Amino acid sequence: MTLLRTVGLTKRFGGVTAVDDLSIELGDVGITALIGPNGAGKTTAFNLLCGVLPPSSGTVEFRGRDVTGQPPHRIAVLGMARTFQNLELFGDMSVRDNVMVGAGAHLRGGIVSAALRLPRHRSDERAARERSDAVLERLGLGDVADRPASDLPYGLQRRVELARALATDPALLLLDEPMAGLSGGEAAEVAGAVRAIGVPTLIVEHHVETVMALSDRVLVLNFGRLLADGTPAEVRADPAVVEAYLGAEDAA
């Protein structure tokens, strides 16, 4: 089943085309990596998919609905969750409370029920706490649930951000450089957590070796265009990819 589809997706900034006629389909299983040289259009593509930017042309469909140009909160309600390269945690709040922000996205009650502490709100709050605790245990964060997020090592903070996205019960996760700033060991831990989640995932990442080991499928962008699409082994062996990207990585 197709979960996400783009057709002719294009974004121009003045005379610069950042994403050029991108047409892809993602199914409802597996981990797909989006890689490419700096300036290839990866983050712009992410922003188009989740509604942060409107496309210049082309369409985005998510779960069978045309969401082209829809604002991020409307797309999120349909089940798309995104993390960002820069951590967006509330440092003074506990790890659990940070994750409950994500779990609370599905609360049924509104502002009035929350302000008056009506039974529905109390029931929703219990459900959010239970879901948050389950996600924290799943990602190996149960022991630090009551600690302020700012007290955790950077690698664990990355995992908290992942937990908060997972707490929204997404149909699709978009992860924007989840290993950024991590050591090799920390990156491996986050990669293991992503694999263990079992949610369809699209990931932008510069840790090429990690992402090749983690992903089922790899998409390569170059100058905003789709250069290659295949398994990690197929992409590694693609001469155009080696010339445009992997060769440069090896040389570095």
Residues 177 and 156 in one domain: no
Residues 74 and 3 in one domain: yes
Q: Which domain holds residue 138?
A: 89-168
Residues 156 and 194 in one domain: no
Instruction: Select from 168, 202, 234 the last residue of a domain.
Output: 168
Q: What local confidence, expressed as pLDDT, does residue 117 receive?
A: 53
Residues 162 and 197 in one domain: no
Q: What local confidence, expressed as pLDDT, does residue 115 receive?
A: 45
Quote the pTM value: 0.86
Residues 237 and 114 in one domain: no
Ranges of residues in the chain with a pLDDT under 70 are 104-122, 246-252
Judged on CB neighbours under 10 Å (0-12, 13-18, 19+), 172 is: buried
Residues 179 and 159 in one domain: no
Measured between alpha carbons, how far is residue 99 from residues 1, 107, 162, 238 in Å? 29, 14, 9, 40
Residues 153 and 94 in one domain: yes
Residues 74 and 174 in one domain: yes
Q: What local confidence, expressed as pLDDT, does residue 119 receive?
A: 58
Instruction: Select from 168, 202, 220 the last residue of a domain.
Output: 168
Residues 121 and 188 in one domain: no
Q: What local confidence, expressed as pLDDT, does residue 194 receive?
A: 87
Instruction: Select from 113, 144, 168 the last residue of a domain.
Output: 168
Residues 74 and 106 in one domain: no
Residue 84 lies in a domain: no
Number of alpha carbons in the 13 Å side-chain half-sphere of residue 235:
27
